[in-house]
Structure 1
Amino acid sequence: MTEDSPAIAPMKTKAKVPLAPIRTPVIQSVWTWFWVALLAACIPMLVIYFSRMWRLDHYQYFPFAIGAVAWLAWSRSDRYFYAPSRISSLLLISVGVLAMIGSWSLRSPWMMSIAFVCYTAACLSVMRGPHDKSLLILALPLLLLIRLPLGYDQLLVIQLQHLTTMMSSLLLDVLSIPHAVTRNVIELPSRELFVAEACSGIQSVFTMAFLSTLIVAINRRKLWLAPFYLIIALILAAGGNVLRVTMVAVADQWMSLDLASGWAHDILGYTTLAISAFFLWSFDGMIMTLMHVTGTTSDEHPDNPVLHLWNWFVDDGQNVDAVGEYYRSNQSASDRKELGFQLQLARLLGRLQAKPIAAAMAVLGVVLISVSSSSAMKVSAVGVEEGAQGMFVDGIVFEPPVKFISSGNSGFQLNEHQQSRDGDNPILGQNADVWTFESMVNGLPVRGQFVLSQTYAEWHELCLCYENQDWRLLNRILESTDATESEVADSGFQPFAYALFGGDTDARGHLWYSAITPSGNFVYPPERPGQIGRRIADAAEGLDEAIEPMMMLQLWVVAPQKLDASTIDRVDEMFDGLRQKIATAVKAASGGSAVGTADQTEADLEASS
């Protein structure tokens, strides 16, 4: 090139920007309608399920769980619904479909909650955002929407009561506060502090478990860390409840303040819950301080499998490997013939993106909602509007006519009637009527206590109450007398439950109990928690029955030794006759509704006779 040659201007090159794939608008996407159809199909059954959950204080966090997951998904995603092209998503959909079919067949709202969680997790697993390849971790808090089955949440209540009472007693000993412990009652010089379910920590334990999963989801922690967060949450919740019960006792003895009820107790509960939550957040910070990524670039220790494995376990996606990203971006693309199964499945499902198929998905959603609604209409729920709170329901099913119940009994006597209302005696229930039971059977005096307690939202397993009082359950069976069996077909009588308890001595506790609804019908006793197969079978058999408020009848007899078979059979007949007598009184007085007064009940019984 000479000086006279024209200068050659530098070539201006512009990198070709790859064309972004053209996406179907969200409202027209097949997969938008696919996910909406699956999730909307769960709503009819979930309305019943959540109305039942709201009755239980320890599950009332579920609106916050749903709201938190919805907000996190909205803020982190690109707000677009994708095809279920991941294997995990397909597996979750399969489990959800099975649970939904089971919910329709068995009319079980609980199984529909499993389907809802599976569908939501499947949808989140394929959603993505600017900083997330998958939002599956957000489904973790939703797992706590599934209620512990077969009464195991009640067993958890019992264990927490024992733990709280024991640890609180130790702390009171350290503080030199005089007290005595009788089962789950802390006896102070001026009062008895009953460690009831509201004070045993069950509410904050479930709340802390939810908070632990929420922290894992918010901070994008590895999924395998979730069990450790749950364990720490349970420990902190138990400690918070021990502190709460101890503070109630300390305030009573040192400052003469009542922190066991009212707004003061609520403030104390929320304060201890906040303290436990603070320590849980501190634990999260400690975990991230100790378990951080070692080496930040691809060329550091490339042949060290231990470091690669460690980084895979602890990397939460927030570590930016700039050198590694640059290195990988300059590698040649994989051969199209070697595309993975996931990408091939995504392309196959992408061919379904068409308006007719989107319309078909919308129609499918309408069909699924119709089927769920039809199944939900066959399930009766005790709603919040009926005043249901916790295990109790406001109001009284039956105001017992004392003279009618105490008189005219064959072979036994009921004396010394005592009445408690509005939770005066929390051990016996919200509203209770108590009589002493006396009889002479085969020359052996049999003495005990007959209790009519009400009103329960569902069957209340009394065996748990006596196990809570340090009785050891030896046997539990369903009993029926000859008179009951002969009248089952005509009157709908059901068997009653009988349980045998033992202790540290030769004394034996005998418990007969049954339940009666406001319409005067008996409730079939379920199997006790722990016998999973029988409880599932009995639950399936009783799905057609409406869940009504009910009152519990129990006869408790403590004998120096176990009663012989003939004596038990005779007491069976006495208890069965007494419960039939009360059921007849309920029917005569109420006609299926709540009973008015005891005088009106006796008048109706006289008229009917």
Structure 2
Amino acid sequence: MSGTTPLSSAETTDLRRWKNPVLLFATAVLLGHAPLAAFHLRSLWQQEQYQYFPFVIAAAIYFLWSRWQQAPDRSSVTSSQQNKTGAALPLWIAAVAVMTLIGAILLVSPWLAFVSLNIGLAAVFAMLGRQRAIPYLWGIWLLLWLLIPLPLGVDNRLITYLQKLSSQLSSAILELLGILHLMSGNVLQLPTKEFFVDEACSGIISVMSMIACAAIYAVWKNRSFAHLIALVLMGVTWALVLNVLRICLIAAVFHFFDYDLSTGAVHEALGLMLFLLMFLALVSTDYLLLLMLSPIDTALLGGIGQENLFVRLWNRTQGNRTEDGESTVAASGETLSDAEAEGRILAWPRMSTAVAWSIPFLILGIVQLIWMPSSDTAGAAQALERALALDDQSLPRTLGPWIRDSFEAVERDAYSDFGKYSRTYRYRHQHNEGVIATVSLDFPYLGGWHDLCMCYLNAGWTIHDRSIESREDPQRGGNWKFVVGELEDSAMGRAFISFAGFDAQGMAAEPAGDAILFRPWFRLRRRLLLKVSPQLFQVQVFASGTSAEDQELRQDLQQLLFDSRVKFRNSVTATQVE
């Protein structure tokens, strides 16, 4: 009996001593990504459509922990070569994560750092999957990709497209109901009321939250990958349908009963009701997909089912299997040979290996803390307070040929396209009294440059021209850039827009160029870039009824932007002008 060794409880615990190395490695991966990952999560929280991410993290942790507790041990590996190959796979994945994290640090990209974090966690998941047959382990890992928005602004373009599609479908239904309305872009105008069709305002039934809900449900039910993808796509469809229903319901109730469902507690109640309806529709869709995508019962096909290649491929892709197929249980008290017991121990990383691969992540984490610019939270808060204190006297009554007529302090929803706060000044041209220019300081924007042209596009305007120009900064030297655009609306005609941004320290914000899609590396860096201060203040000058041929008026409008920007920046940053 010298060839076999009964496994006692203590010896089984000894066989699982790899837990400490894996725990060490997982901790190093998390700490190595923590600085940039924290910026990434903070930026997600500032976008309402991504505020579901704490639920995704909680779901992934719950699924992993609960299934780990119930999962059987893997059977021993009989080939030492297979042990070496399988054990090396997590290390190769970790190497990819290290290289990706280095790139994220060089580009100062929280988005890319979170991609690296997910790759690093894949190595951890691979180690866990070699010890126990955790059901749908990689489905749990895929949930973490819901925390990473699509690159190059694809997610924003998708939301904009769905906004327009919702508007068009809602307008068609309102026409059938005989409700007099005008749909201009994403603005729904009734005779006595105007609504903005903003996908984000739908709250818990936004497209992104629907995708997260569908994915979590599919992983919970251990659905196949094809089933998960189909359910997510149907979730997007249901989100579109329910947003159209919400728009039509709000417009119809206001039209027939003169009651506004778009604000207050009643709007939240409407959102909860539609969310419940959406979830029921999602569950029904899941059962329909389960019927359509279930594996084929080969017993019903006789010998043909076993031999048919397509049947075998279909069942392989649709079957609900644990990772690497079925596994046998190696429970405490079983009998393994000495070679098998030693082989199982060697299949998992030793402590020395875990330490060696943890060091690069820890070093890169320290590099982020030292090299990355720190966020001046106190300075940003003070700048915000000074911006909120701006009043009608913050800009002079006369700026060149412009005379101030009125002032307004505006507060919007926290995630409005035009910022939560605005300090708006309306100026009338002395020599052309028909031209009214609106000067506005909009704030705060978090996470980088905010293109107002896209906001006006969503509001129904057409962009005829958009260019980036620069001007010398007399106070701080160098050049600062600003955007100039020509807009047109069917009701208001032509309009002029110009805007520029600066942070809490008064440093100019860099606008995105028209050819930005041809520079993906720059978009990747800019996507969630939080510089010295994450808070951005934006100055805009808007005037309708202008003509592109009136160059003198355009110069006056641009000079109005220059003058107001300097005064706003000095007020917000408390800069003393000599």
TM-score, reference length from structure 1:
0.75
Question: Which amino acid in structure 2 is aligned with residue 512 of structure 1?
Answer: S
Which protein has the bigger helix share? 2
Describe the SS at the equivalent of 2:313: helix
Cα displacement (A) at 1:515? 1.9
- Residue by residue over 1:165-187, the C-alpha shift from the partner in whole angstroms, topping out at 9 and shown as x without a partner, is 33333333333444333433323
Cα displacement (A) at 1:540? 6.1
Contact 2:186/2:196 (<8 A) preserved: yes
Out of 363, 370, 380, the residue aligned to residue 366 of structure 2 is 370
Partner of 1:183: 185
Question: Which amino acid in structure 1 is aligned with residue 125 of structure 2?
Answer: L
Describe the SS at the equivalent of 2:513: coil
2-side partners of 1:253 and 1:505: how far apart?
Answer: 22
Contact 2:424/2:440 (<8 A) preserved: yes
Cα displacement (A) at 1:453? 3.4
Partner of 2:319: 315
Out of 502, 511, 521, the residue aligned to residue 497 of structure 2 is 511
1-side partners of 2:197 and 2:176: how far apart?
Answer: 19
Partner of 2:395: 405
Contact 1:449/1:556 (<8 A) preserved: yes
Cα displacement (A) at 1:136? 1.1
Out of 483, 494, 497, the residue aligned to residue 497 of structure 1 is 483
- 2:517 paired with 1:531: yes
Task: Tell me: CA distance 1:504–1:435, structure 2 relative to 1, closer, same or farther (3 Å).
Answer: closer
Contact 1:124/1:138 (<8 A) preserved: no
Contact 2:151/2:524 (<8 A) preserved: no
- 303-312 vs 418-427, which moves further: 418-427
The number of equivalent residue pairs is 540
- Residue by residue over 1:452-475, the C-alpha shift from the partner in whole angstroms, topping out at 9 and shown as x without a partner, is 133223332101112113333344
- 2:379 paired with 1:417: no
Q: What are structure 1's unaligned runs of at least 5 residues?
A: 1-15, 326-342, 388-392, 592-604
Question: Which amino acid in structure 2 is aligned with residue 120 of structure 1?
Answer: L
Partner of 2:541: 555
Question: Which amino acid in structure 2 is aligned with residue 186 of structure 1?
Answer: L
Out of 375, 380, 389, the residue aligned to residue 380 of structure 1 is 375
Task: Tell me: CA distance 1:416–1:584, structure 2 relative to 1, closer, same or farther (3 Å).
Answer: same
1-side partners of 2:351 and 2:502: how far apart?
Answer: 56
Q: What are structure 2's unaligned runs of at least 5 residues?
A: 75-82, 329-339
Out of 420, 428, 435, the residue aligned to residue 426 of structure 2 is 435
Cα displacement (A) at 1:405? 2.8
Out of 419, 427, 435, the residue aligned to residue 447 of structure 1 is 435
Contact 1:161/1:200 (<8 A) preserved: no
Partner of 2:469: 479
2-side partners of 1:535 and 1:527: how far apart?
Answer: 13
Cα displacement (A) at 1:206? 0.8
Partner of 1:74: 65
Describe the SS at the equivalent of 1:98: helix
Cα displacement (A) at 1:407? 3.6
Which runs of structure 2 are paired with 1:31-46 in the superposition (5 Å)?
31-46=22-37
2-side partners of 1:414 and 1:202: how far apart?
Answer: 45
- 2:42 paired with 1:47: no
- 82-91 vs 37-46, which moves further: 82-91
Cα displacement (A) at 1:285? 0.9
Partner of 2:333: none
- RCO higher in structure (CA 8 A, sep ≥6): 2
Cα displacement (A) at 1:217? 1.6
Percent of pairs identical after alignment? 22
Contact 1:100/1:115 (<8 A) preserved: yes
Contact 1:160/1:200 (<8 A) preserved: no
Contact 2:87/2:348 (<8 A) preserved: no
2-side partners of 1:174 and 1:254: how far apart?
Answer: 15
- 133-142 vs 290-299, which moves further: 290-299
1-side partners of 2:200 and 2:135: how far apart?
Answer: 42
Partner of 2:221: 219
Contact 1:58/1:203 (<8 A) preserved: no
Question: Which amino acid in structure 2 is aligned with residue 476 of structure 1?
Answer: R
Describe the SS at the equivalent of 1:477: strand
1-side partners of 2:249 and 2:224: how far apart?
Answer: 37
Out of 222, 235, 238, the residue aligned to residue 237 of structure 2 is 235
Question: Which amino acid in structure 1 is aligned with residue 243 of structure 2?
Answer: N
Cα displacement (A) at 1:55? 1.7
Describe the SS at the equivalent of 2:549: coil
Task: Give the superposed CA RMSD.
Answer: 4.4
1-side partners of 2:5 and 2:303: how far apart?
Answer: 32
- Residue by residue over 1:556-588, the C-alpha shift from the partner in whole angstroms, topping out at 9 and shown as x without a partner, is 24456533667655644443234224334445x
Question: Which amino acid in structure 2 is aligned with residue 213 of structure 1?
Answer: A
Describe the SS at the equivalent of 1:499: strand
Task: Tell me: CA distance 1:191–1:572, structure 2 relative to 1, closer, same or farther (3 Å).
Answer: closer
2-side partners of 1:253 and 1:579: how far apart?
Answer: 43
Cα displacement (A) at 1:445? 8.8
Cα displacement (A) at 1:280? 1.5
Cα displacement (A) at 1:381? 7.9
- 37-46 vs 536-545, which moves further: 536-545
Cα displacement (A) at 1:26? 4.0
2-side partners of 1:204 and 1:221: how far apart?
Answer: 23
**Structure with bigger gyration radius:** 1
Cα displacement (A) at 1:270? 2.0
